[in-house]
Amino acid sequence: MRPQQRPQLTLIVPSIFLMLTACDFETPPSGAPTSWDATEALPMQGVHGQSPAASGGVPSVIMLSPAGASPEIEKTASPFTVDQLGLTFSPRYLLADKGDPITFTNSESALSHNVRLRAFGDTIDVIDADANPGEKLVVQLLAAGGYDVICDMHPGMTAFIFVSEATHSVFAQTDGTFSLDSVPVGTYTLKLWTAASGFQAPRSVEIGPGLNSINLEISG
């Protein structure tokens, strides 16, 4: 018999700089979770390039924002769901915008889990909540960076969330290659995050015809 469903719990996590590790992940999806509505009339350009390879199973993250644009504008919140079923978080990789509602669900018939989010290199929990069958936990993460998601009841049950405040963001593949579709031409501020080194210093890049390849490999 399914336990009585509890009221939905919503948590808003205050701004903290966070970087997380994760382990044994599948190949992360490519593509950006965000769009910038004000650029619909501009010509579009595909972008590809090379970034550092995944470290400890965690991929690099590439972020582009139009130069001079505030990350607080032109964004539409996108709801995401992370389900727990078959001793697995699904999806195991999630790329979201700052403040997007992320709903953790438990679709098991009778198996309880918990949801623990912890900062990379830190022992302080950002969130630690029960996740019983039929319950929902809604979280809004307000700090850009990575989050490790853990179920303490079942070792090895993990996921990785990265929160971006850029207008275009993408997980690189395991080998560091990445691509972004339909980026409006123009001047952008580019940021790179890696599990090994965290956020790198931002740099300015031009996106346009013949200017669609970016090398982000870190020397030394």
Cα-based distances in Å from 178 to 51, 63, 99, 164, 174: 7, 11, 25, 16, 9
Helices then strands, each counted (H, E), the chain = 0, 18
Mean pLDDT score of the chain, rounded to an integer?
79
Cβ burial, residue 121 (10 Å; 0-12/13-18/19+): exposed
Encode pLDDT of 15-52 as tens digits: 332 222 233 334 455 344 444 444 456 788 889 999 99
pTM (predicted TM-score):
0.77
**Which stretch of 65-79, 141-155, 195-209 has the lowest confidence by average pLDDT?**
65-79
Residue 74, number of CB atoms within 10 A of its CB: 16
Encode pLDDT of 104-114 as tens digits: 999 988 888 98
First to last CA, the chain: 58
Cβ pair 152, 116 in contact under 8 A: yes
Joined together, the tokens standing for residue 123 give: 């022992």
9-215 classified as CATH 2.60.40.420? yes
For residues 164-178, average pLDDT: 95
3-state secondary structure of 37: helix
For residues 41-64, average pLDDT: 90
**Which stretch of 90-94, 116-120, 206-210 has the lowest confidence by average pLDDT?**
116-120
Cα separation of 166 and 52, whole Å? 19
Domain ranges of the chain: 9-215
What pairs with residue 184 in β-bridges?
Answer: 44
- Token match 């952008």: residue? 188
**pLDDT on residue 92:** 92
Q: 154-158: which pairs have CB atoms within 8 A and are 24 or more residues apart?
A: 154/87, 154/113, 156/23, 156/24, 157/84, 157/87, 157/88, 157/89, 157/113, 158/22, 158/23, 158/24, 158/25, 158/89, 158/92
91: cis peptide before it, omega within 30°? Answer: yes
